[in-house]
Amino acid sequence: MTIADQVYTFGTGENYHLQNYLGVHPANGEAGYTFRVWAPHAEKVQLIGDFTAWREKPVAMTRNEAGIWETTTSLAQEGQLYKYLVTRNGGQVVEKIDPLATYFEKRPGTGAVVKPLKEKKWKDSLWMGRRKRFGFKKRPVNIYEVHAASWKHHNDGSPYTFKELKEDLIPYLVEMNYTHVEFMPLMAHPLDMSWGYQLMGYFAFEHTYGSPEEFKDFVEACHQENIGVIVDWVPGHYTQNDDSLAYFDGTPTFEYQDHDRAHNYRWGALNFDLGKNQVQSFLISSALFWIEHYHIDGIRVDAVSNMLYLDYDEGPWTPNKDGGNRNLEGYHFLQKLNRVVKDYHPDVMMIAEEATAATPITKPIEEGGLGFDYKWNMGWMNDILRFYEMDPIYRQYDYQLVTFSFMYAFNENFILPFSHDEVVHGKKSMMHKMWGDRYNQFAGLRNLYTYQICHPGKKLLFMGSEFGQFLEWKYNEGLEWSNLEDDMNAKMRHFTSQLNAFYKEHKALWQIDDSFDGLEIIDADNKDQTVLSFVRKGDKGEMLLCIFNMTPVERPDFKLGVPVAGVYEEILNTEREEFGGVWKENNTVTATEEEKWKDYEQTLTFTLPALGASIWKVKRRFQSKKKVAQKKVSEAKKAKK
């Protein structure tokens, strides 16, 4: 693409690789570097840095018709720091970051680094080929969510870098049988307290976590172990720090013209003007940059509701031109984002964190949807956690909290999340949420995770929850790995590992996640005993019978109708001793009996463990006596003819 084309498409919102033009680049055919920055209403922009003694000898920049300032200088050398000295519209002089920088100095500094990105010779072609061939819709997706700065800390309190995470985290992911790892934002941000959700540099890797090269090596190593990598990304709002994107040239540049729309009062941030063409080029280029430069397998778009609804924030708002609350610019931007990403990379997952039902999130764009692949099922998450926190005595009265999700399970393509948001700010850890004494808390947690695995939808679990960490997550500390010295926590981690392996092994749990073709409810009315049962089905006849006892009462001689006559084998019992329970072995192999039970002609009788989940498969099928008799009658009639 020529320079003229770069400038033109930037202005039309169709420059999807903006980093190839703006930012810093080796000078074309001469020594030094070329710097370009968009500041359309600035009175003057100068380049400052190590090579100008900062403000002592600034380098002048010239402005083109698109509001882009440019200079080429032989003074700059690789590894030096730089910023832009912007004389804003109105005369105020401020030092600004390079919005297209791919490297920044260590915090608290915000200087960009003169350092062109180096291309990697990737060794993950096998993974990338499989990803392209098989996609992810009919594949297992079980995500381990990680905050890179707090998974593990050194003795001095410093977090692991990705070089160290490659050595420790990847073997852990393999051991725990996860299919994907998802990182909270890895883009440059000025404050750890934001967890990375108030970004500064949309093309820069956060220096706290190591170097971009280390992260690329991490992704490559994940792919070599058949693990996908997903990254959170925040296109709705950004940090309001004055040295970053905020009012870059003294006027609303990246943010909305309207003051209330520009300011995110709830989060103390600024909202992108998603209807501005240049902002669209900037953001879509950022998304594609992370996908292409780092071989990312998925992007989770944060806070989609904030981009969709004008009244989502706590401040004043003005209805749209139709009198409604929909942010029309945000709606069309998200459609455009997904359309462009899918045009370039149809095998990359696009995931929305969105909590409302007013807009179809995963429906096709041509049907009025946003075109995401998945939406976090926040309703399911809230209902199910309320239920499992409840004293079992009262669960029969709120049984709909468990069953209601089946009413809308296929309205969208869902991910079932137990994320970082559920284990902070006094909400308690996943283990601490569970009812009862320590034994019953672990039993409840095993039951809950098994229900998540069996329920239609892809899965996500936040770090530390897999072994039942008791304390809430703290962004500035490592996980409580010392918990694993306790036998119950160690068995909980073993259980989660085995449950994850079980999920991957059984296609019925992930092949058909988007329709009732993969689900058959057996009994969702057993409020008195608070037992739920259903069947999950694969596309080639595989079938799993899933039963959940949600009270601490063992139920011997529990009888249940089943759709297939045969011999059944219990293949998972959450109350086994090896998992922290009291059962030494599973239920014995059991044959069905011909008996009417609701709409079923066959029943299965077994012992249902207290506060336990029990999963069965058909070991051998046989025809019921009724079907055999019908067959004989049919054959006799044919013989008479």
For residue 290 the two structure tokens come to 């992370």
For tokens 């068995």, what's the residue? Answer: 491
HSE-CB of 108 using CA atoms within 13 angstroms: 1
Cβ neighbour number for residue 426 with a 10 Å cutoff: 5
Burial (CB count within 10 angstroms: exposed 0-12, middle 13-18, buried 19+), residue 322: exposed
CA distance 424 to 606: 40
Residue type at 387 in one-letter notation = F
The candidate with the shortest Cα–Cα distance to 76, out of 114, 118, 109, is 114
Side by side, which strands form the sheet with 555-562?
555-562, 600-608, 593-597
E-strand spans in 479-573?
519-523, 531-537, 543-549, 555-562, 566-573
Q: State whether the Cα torsion 128-130-132-135 is positive or negative.
A: negative
For tokens 């003795």, what's the residue? Answer: 155
CA distance 130 to 133: 5
- Residue 427 to residues 196, 440, 473, Cα–Cα distance (Å): 20, 19, 10
The candidate with the shortest Cα–Cα distance to 47, out of 22, 19, 78, 81, is 81
Long-range contacts of 486-491 (CB under 8 A, 24+ apart): 487/580, 488/438, 488/439, 488/442, 488/580, 491/442, 491/578, 491/579, 491/580
Beta-bridge partner residues of 187: 205
255 is catalytic: no
The candidate with the shortest Cα–Cα distance to 456, out of 523, 502, 410, 417, is 410
* Active-site residue (options: 220, 297, 353, 383): 353
* Active-site residue (options: 302, 422, 513, 575): 302
HSE-CB of 134 using CA atoms within 13 angstroms: 13
Q: What is the largest CA-CA distance in the chain?
A: 109
What 8-state DSSP symbol labels residue 586? P
Element holding 447 (H helix, E strand): helix 438-454
For residue 158 the two structure tokens come to 């410093």
The candidate with the shortest Cα–Cα distance to 10, out of 23, 24, 22, 27, is 22
302 is catalytic: yes
CA distance 227 to 189: 26
Query: Annotated active-site positions, please?
Result: 302, 353
